Amino acid sequence: MTIKPDSISELQELLPQSQRVDEVSLEAVAELIEHVPEDMTATVQAGMSLSEFQSRLAKAGQWLPVDPPHPQVVTIGELLACNLNGPRRFGCGTIRDWVIGMTVVLPDGRLIRNGGKVVKNVAGFDLCRLFVGAKNELGIIVEAAFKLLPLSEAEAYLVKRCESLGQAEELLENIWTSDLQPTVLDLHRVDGKPLTLVAGFAGPSADIEAQSGAANALGFAVETSLDYDARFRQTAPHFTSVAPGKLISTLKNLGDESFVARAGNGVVYHPSAKPKEVPSLDLQKRVKDIFDPKGVLAE
C-alpha cells in the first residue's frame, strides 16, 4: 500500500500499524527548515522537489551539487533513498558526500536523528550513510541536512565526436593525465548519433576560459546542454559499473548498443543493463532484520 501522511507525526503513527508499505508520499512534508548561507548548509524536509530546493538555495548563490534527471519531480527523499546523480558526479561526487544529518522514521514509529547540521561531526555511528541508497527499506527519511557549494561562476560543456572507441580511449587518457579538471567526463552514443565525448568545466571564470582553451586544442567544440542524460536514462535506467580503467573494454562488449557512460566513474547506462544484484552477505540480511524485523517496508 501507499501511505500519504499529513505530517511526520502521522507517519510515526501509520507505519507501525501497517502490514506492508510499498510507498510513502511526503508531499505534505516539504518545508525548507533552514538555509544559512554563511554556514553553506541547509536543512530541508524530504517531500520538497530537488528543483524547488535548488531554486531556494540559488537565491543566496549556492546549490546542492547533484544533478539527477528530472529534478522537478525528484524529491529530496528519493534523491537520498535511491542515491540519484547525473553527469556532474565526476566532479561533485554523490549525495552521500553531501549529506550531514538526517531525520528518519523507523518502521516501529520511532523518530531518530543522526549526524547534525554542522559540516564536520563524528559523534556516534554514521547511520546517514546507511540510509542513503537504502531505498527506504530500513526507515523513511523525512528530513535531511546538507553541506552546499557556491554556484559556479562559470560553466562550459564541450563535445568532441570520436571515430572509434580506440580514439575515445586515447583522448580520455590525454585528459586523465593532463592538468584539466573536468566536472563532467561523459562518453555517449545515443539516438543513432556518433560516438561523442563530453568534457564539462565549472569554477572561477578565469579557469573556465583557460580550460576551454586547452580542451579546444584537443578538438573539443562548444555544446550547451547535458540533456542527453535525462533523455537516455528514461529508456535505460540501469547501469553497469566497472573500474574506470575497464571502461573501453566494457563498451566494446556492448556491440552496437546505445549508451551514456560516466567515463571518469566507470558507470555505463545502457538498455540491456540489469539492476545490480545485492550480495548475499549475512550482514546485508541482518541490517534489514534488525531495522525492520516485521518487514513493514517493502524490498
Partner 1 sequence: MNCKPNKEQLTRRLAEIVGNDAVLADKRELVVYECDAYTLQRNPPTAVVLPRSTQEVAAVVRLCAELDVPIIPRGAGTSLSGAVLAVDGGVMIALTRMNRVLKIDPRNRRALVEAGCVNAWITRDASAHGLFYAPDPSSQTACTIGGNIATNSGGPHTLKNGVTTNHVLGYEMVLSDGTIEWLGVEPDGGEEVAGFDLRGAAIGSEGMFGVVTTVLVRLMKTPPTFKTFLCVFESVDEASQAVSGIIAAGIVPAALEMMDQLITQALEEAYHFGFPLDAGAVLIVELDGLPKGVEQQAKRVEEVCRQNNASEVRLAKDDAERTALWKCRKRAFGAIGRLSPNYVTQDGVVPRSKLPVIMRFIRTVSDKYELRIPNVFHAGDGNIHPLILYDEREPSQVKRALQAGHDILDKCIELGGSVTGEHGIGAEKIDFMAKQFSKDDLDAMQQLRRVFDPDKRCNPHKMFPGAKRCAEFAQKKQIPA
Q: Does 265 bind partner 1 (CB under 8 A)?
A: yes
Nearer to partner 1, 110 or 193 (CB): 110
Q: Which of 4, 110, 231, 252 binds partner 1 (CB under 8 A)?
A: 110
Q: Which of 17, 253, 279, 299 binds partner 1 (CB under 8 A)?
A: 279
Closer residue to partner 1, CB minimum distance, 38 or 191 = 38
- Quick check: 40 binds partner 1 (CB under 8 A)? yes
C-alpha cell at 225: 546542454
Amino acid 94 reads: T
Q: What are phi and psi of 129, to 5 degrees?
A: -60, -40
Q: Are 8 and 28 in contact, with CB atoms under 8 Å apart?
A: no
* Residue 281 engages partner 1 in binding (rule: CB under 8 A): yes
What cell does 153 get? 561562476
> CB count, 10 Å around CB of 283?
7
Compute the least distance from the CB of residue 192 to partner 1, in Å. 27
- Interface stretch with partner 1, choices 1-9, 21-29, 157-165, 282-290 (CB under 8 A): 282-290
**Shortest separation between residue 171's beta carbon and partner 1, angstroms:** 15
Grid cell at residue 240: 553497469
Q: How far is residue 279's CA from residue 186's CA, in Å, rounded to a whole number?
A: 28
Q: Which of residues 111-140 bind partner 1 (CB under 8 A)?
A: 111-114, 116-130, 132-134, 138
Do the strands 149-150 and 62-63 form a parallel or antiparallel pair, or are they unpaired?
antiparallel
> 20 burial class (0-12, 13-18, 19+ CB within 10 angstroms)?
exposed
24 vs 106, which CB is nearer to partner 1?
A: 106
CA 66 → CA 13, 18, 54, 179, distances in Å? 33, 33, 10, 24
Is 212 an interacting residue with respect to partner 1 (CB under 8 A)? no
Q: Judged by CB, which is closer to partner 1: 28, or 210?
A: 210
Q: Residues binding partner 1: what is the number (CB under 8 A)?
A: 77
Give residues 65-84 in contact with partner 1 (rule: CB under 8 A).
none
Say whether 180 sits in a helix, a strand or coil.
coil
Closer to partner 1 by Cβ: residue 203 or 219? 203
Residues 273, 95: Cα–Cα separation, whole Å = 23
Q: Of these, 53, 239, 259, 269, which contacts partner 1 (CB under 8 A)?
A: 239
Write out the binding residues for partner 1, residues 150-209 only, by CB under 8 A.
Answer: 150-151, 153, 176-177, 179, 181, 203-207, 209
Contact 142, 103 (CB under 8 A): yes
Asked if 33 touches partner 1 (CB under 8 A), the answer is no
Nearer to partner 1 (CB atom), residue 71 or residue 107: 107
C-alpha cell at 288: 534489514
